Amino acid sequence: MNHSSVKIIIRFLLVSAVLLFISGCGKTYYAAMEKIGKEKRHILVDNVEDVQESQTKAQEEFKDALTRIKELYAFDGGELETFYDQLKDSYEDCDSRANQIEKRINDVEQVAKDLFIEWEAEIGQINDAKLKSSSKKSLRDAKIKYQKLEKVMNKSTKGMYPVLTKLKDYVLYLKHNLNAKAVGSLSSEVVSIEKDVGKLINDMNVSIKEAESFINSF
């Protein structure tokens, strides 16, 4: 067996070990939650609420960042360093929140996947034809509602990154060009980022409302 084949086998074994570890942790977590009366459906709703909460906070943080840019654009004397520091802080808040939202959506997707697998398996254990048919319909309906939620959550999440990229560009540019002329050169960018932030906030509103609808109907 050559060196390349050995490396491939080792990599496969490592990946398998990690997956088994994660799977085991998931089972342990679900078992612990069941002991305190929380089934997967309860965990899913809790996780959706977490995303909803993070997106609500993100809306305010992106609005704050836009406000900082407008303040810089309207700069008319004072300490430019202070304005720069405020914009930098706003960008870092937005970036941190985006990472949190991404993680929380991943949690939602994992629990939903595990819940639907379990639900499907348990339907197979139902003997009564009428009850089985009813449970299958409930599962189909739940999947449709969830897929709609997942779609709008991911759309609003993707919308954060173009805005974050622009904010980072502004922060890095100003870091090395902190003068009135440099600030003035950003004036043409204000309308563009204002439009992007507005669209992002609208997409997040759709996601937040869809989450509320999912929670109320699930």
Dihedral sign computed on CA atoms, order 167, 171, 174, 178: positive
User: What mean pLDDT do residues 202-216 have?
Assistant: 95
Which tens digit of pLDDT belongs to each residue from 24-79? Answer: 457 888 888 888 888 999 999 999 999 999 999 999 999 999 998 888 777 665 67
How many CA atoms lie within 13 Å of 160's alpha carbon, on the beta-carbon side? 26
**Percent of the chain at pLDDT above 70?**
87
* pLDDT score for 102: 96
Please indicate whether residue 10 or residue 142 has the higher confidence score (pLDDT): 142
- The per-residue pLDDT of the chain, averaged, comes to 85
pLDDT at residue 127 above 80? yes
Q: Which helix (H) or strand (E) holds 163?
A: helix 160-176
Between CA 155 and CA 217 the distance in angstroms is: 22
pTM for the structure as a whole? 0.81
Please tell me the predicted confidence (pLDDT) of residue 5. 55
The residue extents of the domains of the chain are 1-37, 39-217
Contact between 88 and 209 (Cβ < 8 Å): no
Closest CA to 103 of 50, 29, 181, 179: 50
| pLDDT confidence bin for 15, thresholds 50/70/90 | very low
Nearest Cα to Cα of residue 117 among 194, 43, 40:
40
Give Cα 20 to chain centroid, integer Å. Answer: 25
pLDDT(198) > 80: yes
> Which residue spans within the chain are E strands per DSSP?
none
Short-list 55, 34, 57, CA closest to 212: 55
